[in-house]
Every structure is written in structure tokens, then in C-alpha cells.
């Protein structure tokens, strides 16, 4: 069996579905395949998104896929010092809502289908061969092998994209640029405020941080991300220690475990080649600071869909023509990611004691309104490293 299409999207996460939808809306014939039997399951995400991010994408919040609306955030230093912020003082990063990703991802795929995208689930891409006018993709579905002839392939197949590698792009990441993450969904969680998210910093999660994201009165995603070069333990081992020591989770029980990688080194340098673009986690379009990538990946997906559809209409699938997608991503994402990388590296340079001192300073500081300039002022007073590493950042 052989299938022909203008654009083949491999991977039906938020980035892939967004790309597929906007390619179809702009007139291309689009096929999207996903290796899973159920799009969105299992989740590999703490499920937080910003309200502003959804608004910029034109996505109306829906009660079917929003588990919790948040009003605050709590930062906890290694000695337990807490700093509370609410949405009246700061735009909450990656967490205006907590999603049900298993429903949200499916919702986005359904949107793509309504735009005209053909979808095949439980379909695995097994190889990629360049032909005169595109790619011939080998695939398997329900023990049946077949080929897909596509003018353009959009690789949305996750971190260190093998589809991207097959097409000639460098998608392998250095260990320092990939967080190893482990997360429980838990019941019986006892939070001080079930409308606020909690972040824990320091040696509890070397190279990253731990989180508690509420999904209901006593339900929460509880997880952490680490950099493997910073510790001899696995992310799962760190998670077990965190859960047993965190006051919010000592009496909670897990009902789901998710383990995976999160690319946090900033967007890849090259996202396009002839007949191929990469998007989402495959392109490392993830905040280096928060590890959140739903909104940024979907924005990139819109660009990928629009540019590839225009390339199909023009009959030009060259790297030069597709470079417009990379240019748009760099304009929209890279400047912010570069700033966040500097902040991340600064935080990683701090000891537990320094983190405690900073938390104490913030705890006792009255802000009329939280903004970057005011935060930098406090940091510089407490930590000389802040002046050295962040003084020229903004």
C-alpha cells in the first residue's frame, strides 16, 4: 500500500496537531500519524499553561480539558522558606491553568481533523528515504507495512527526534541540555493552597526543580527534573525522596507514573532542510528555565503549518523556501530562551544556603508590583553572582 500527501506530520502532540491544522487551513493535503493508540496518553508533562499563551493562540479554555485554574505560586527554598506570589502581582509562568493533557491533546487533534487533516493512530514511522520530489516514509500500522509519499515532512516526534536525524538534521542533545523527569499523579495531597502551584529548589532536584501542580482538592502532579551530570541518582530515586519528605505529599498515594526527557538547552540551531522541518520538543522549543513547552511549541506549530502550506502552493520545498519557518521561530522564541538560559545558569550556580538567603530576602520584601527590574534589584543585594551574571541581561 502507498499513500500520497502534500505534508506528513509525524507526531500528534500539541505542536504536531497545531502544524497539521494550520497547514490544512492554508490549503495543503495533510496526513498526521502517531505511534500511540490514544493521542495524549501517556502524558509526559506537568500540564501547566499560561492563560496569556492560550489567548495568543486563539484557543478558548474549555472545562473538558482544564483541571484547575490557578491564582498563585509558591517558591520553596531548601530550608523550607516560602515566597508567595499571586496573579495580581506577577504573570504566572506556564501555569495559569493545569490541563488534562490526555483530553487537551486529543482536542487539538480533533481540531486538526475538522480542518481537513487525515489522522492515523497506532502508526509508527520506521524509515525515511529521500526521493526526487520529497520523502518516501516507511510506516507500520496494526502489523501492516506501507509507504507514505510526502512532499514535506514535519517531524514532531519528541526530544532528539529520530525523524529529524533521518532527514539529516542534528537533533541529539548534550546531557546538560536534557532534563530527566519523573512525575506521579497523586491523591491525598495536602497543600496549603490548592489554587497555587509549588516549586522547590536546590539539592532536592540537582540541575532542575521539583513541583506540585494541583489538579483538584487533593489531587496533584508531583514531579521533578534533574540533570544527570549533576547527581548519581535517577530522577525516580529523587522523586521518591521528595515525596517522602515534602509536607504536601507525605500522606499521598500515586495513581500514575510518568518518566521522560525534557530538552532545556534552548532551541536547536537548525530546524529545516530540503523537504523537512522539525517542531516542538523535536526542535527543543521549550523554556530552558521552566521546562514548559506547550505554548511555545504550538506557536512554532502554527508557523510550520503556514510556511509548509505556502511552500506546497509554490511548488518549492527547498531549505531556502522553508527557512522562513526558522526565521519566524527565532524572532518569536530565541531571544526569550537566551535570557532564560542565563537565569537558569545563574540559579544552578547557587548553593542551598544562597537560595535560602535569596528566599528570605524576597519573603521580607514588599513589592508594589512584581517585574523583572525589581527582582534583579533584590537579587543583586543578596547575591554578588546576580550582578555578574544577570546585570546586563535586561
Domain range summary for the chain, segments of one domain joined by +: 2-44+102-173+265-342, 71-91+175-263, 345-390
Please name the CATH architecture into which domain 71-91+175-263 falls.
Answer: 2-Layer Sandwich (3.30)
CA distances from 86 to 89, 221, 367 (A): 6, 20, 12
Q: What is the pLDDT of residue 314?
A: 98
Query: What H or E segment, with its residue span, contains residue 160?
Result: none
Q: Do 2-44+102-173+265-342 and 71-91+175-263 fold alike per CATH? A: no
Work out the number of other CB atoms within 10 angstroms of the CB of residue 309.
23
Q: Cell numbers at residue 70, please?
A: 490557578
pLDDT the model gives residue 168: 96
The fold for domain 2-44+102-173+265-342 equals FAD/NAD(P)-binding domain (3.50.50)
User: Could you give the residue ranges of the DSSP H alpha helices within the chain?
Assistant: 14-25, 51-56, 101-114, 162-166, 235-245, 294-314, 319-329, 335-348, 352-363, 372-382, 384-390
Full pLDDT tens readout for the chain, 394 residues: 789 999 999 999 999 999 999 999 999 999 999 999 999 998 878 899 989 899 999 999 999 999 999 988 889 999 999 988 876 665 555 558 999 999 999 999 999 999 999 999 999 999 999 999 999 999 999 999 999 999 999 999 999 999 999 999 999 999 999 999 999 999 999 999 999 999 999 999 999 999 999 999 899 999 999 999 999 999 999 999 999 999 999 999 999 999 999 999 999 999 999 999 999 999 999 999 889 999 999 999 999 999 999 999 999 999 999 999 999 999 999 999 998 888 888 888 889 998 998 888 888 776 655 555 566 667 767 777 776 666 555 5
Convert the pLDDT of each residue in 144-188 to its tens digit: 999 999 999 999 999 999 999 999 999 999 999 999 999 999 999
Locate cell 475538522: which residue? 114
d(CA 12, CA 118): 11
Q: What is the pLDDT of residue 348?
A: 86
SS3 label, residue 135: strand
- Count Cβ atoms within 10 A of the Cβ of residue 296 and give its class: 0-12 exposed, 13-18 middle, 19 or more buried: buried
List, as one string, the DSSP characters of 207-234: TSEEEEEESSSSEEEEEEEEEGGG-SS-
**Cα–Cα distance between 36 and 162 in angstroms, integer?**
16
pTM of the model: 0.93
Task: Give the bridge partners for 146, in sequence order.
Answer: 139
* pLDDT for residue 57: 95
The burial of 57, by beta-carbon neighbours within 10 Å (0-12 exposed, 13-18 middle, 19 or more buried), is given as middle
> Which pLDDT value is given to residue 363?
81
Amino acid at each position: 500500500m502507498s499513500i500520497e500527501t502534500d505534508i506528513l506530520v509525524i507526531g500528534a502532540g500539541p505542536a504536531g496537531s497545531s502544524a497539521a491544522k494550520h497547514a490544512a487551513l492554508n490549503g495543503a493535503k495533510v496526513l498526521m500519524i502517531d505511534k500511540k493508540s490514544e493521542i495524549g496518553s501517556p502524558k509526559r508533562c506537568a500540564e501547566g499553561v499560561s492563560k496569556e499563551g492560550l489567548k495568543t493562540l486563539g484557543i478558548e479554555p474549555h472545562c473538558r480539558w482544564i483541571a484547575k485554574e490557578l491564582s498563585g505560586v509558591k517558591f520553596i527554598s531548601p530550608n523550607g522558606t516560602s515566597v508567595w506570589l499571586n496573579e495580581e502581582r506577577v504573570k504566572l509562568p506556564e501555569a495559569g491553568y493545569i490541563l488534562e493533557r490526555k483530553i487537551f491533546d486529543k482536542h487539538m487533534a480533533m481540531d486538526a481533523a475538522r480542518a481537513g487533516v487525515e489522522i492515523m493512530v497506532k502508526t509508527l514511522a520506521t524509515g525515511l528515504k529521500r526521493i526526487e520530489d520529497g520523502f518516501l516514509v516507511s510506516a507500520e500500522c496494526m502489523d501492516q507495512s506501507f509507504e507514505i509519499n510526502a512532499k514535506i515532512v514535519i517531524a514532531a516526534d519528541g526530544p532528539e527526534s529520530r525523524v529529524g536525524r533521518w532527514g539529516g538534521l542534528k537533533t541529539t542533545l548534550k546531557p546538560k541540555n536534557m532534563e530527566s523527569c519523573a512525575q506521579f499523579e497523586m491523591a491525598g495531597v495536602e497543600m496549603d493552597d490548592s489554587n497555587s502551584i509549588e516549586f522547590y529548589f536546590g539539592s532536592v532536584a540537582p540541575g532542575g526543580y521539583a513541583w506540585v501542580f494541583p489538579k483538584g482538592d487533593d489531587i496533584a502532579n508531583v514531579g521533578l527534573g534533574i540533570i544527570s551530570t549533576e547527581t548519581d541518582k535517577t530522577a525516580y530515586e529523587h522523586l521518591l525522596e521528595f515525596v517522602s519528605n515534602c509536607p504536601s505529599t507525605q500522606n499521598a498515594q500515586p495513581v500514575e507514573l510518568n518518566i521522560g526527557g525534557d530538552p532545556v538547552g534552548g532551541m536547536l540551531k537548525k530546524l529545516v532542510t530540503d523537504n523537512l522541518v522539525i517542531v516542538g520538543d523535536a526542535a527543543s522549543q521549550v523554556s530552558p528555565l521552566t521546562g514548559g513547552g506547550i505554548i511555545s511549541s504550538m506557536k512554532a506549530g502554527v508557523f510550520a503549518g503556514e510556511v509548509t502550506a505556502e511552500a506546497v502552493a509554490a511548488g518549492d520545498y527547498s531549505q531556502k523556501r522553508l527557512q522562513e519557518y526558522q526565521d519566524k521561530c527565532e524572532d518569536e522564541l530565541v531571544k526569550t530562551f537566551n535570557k532564560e538560559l542565563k537565569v537558569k545558569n545563574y540559579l544552578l550556580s547557587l548553593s542551598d544556603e544562597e537560595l535560602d538567603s535569596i528566599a528570605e530576602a524576597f519573603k521580607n520584601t514588599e513589592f508594589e508590583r512584581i517585574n523583572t527590574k525589581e527582582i534583579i534589584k533584590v537579587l543583586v543585594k543578596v547575591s554578588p553572582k546576580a550582578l555578574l551574571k544577570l546585570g546586563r541581561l535586561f
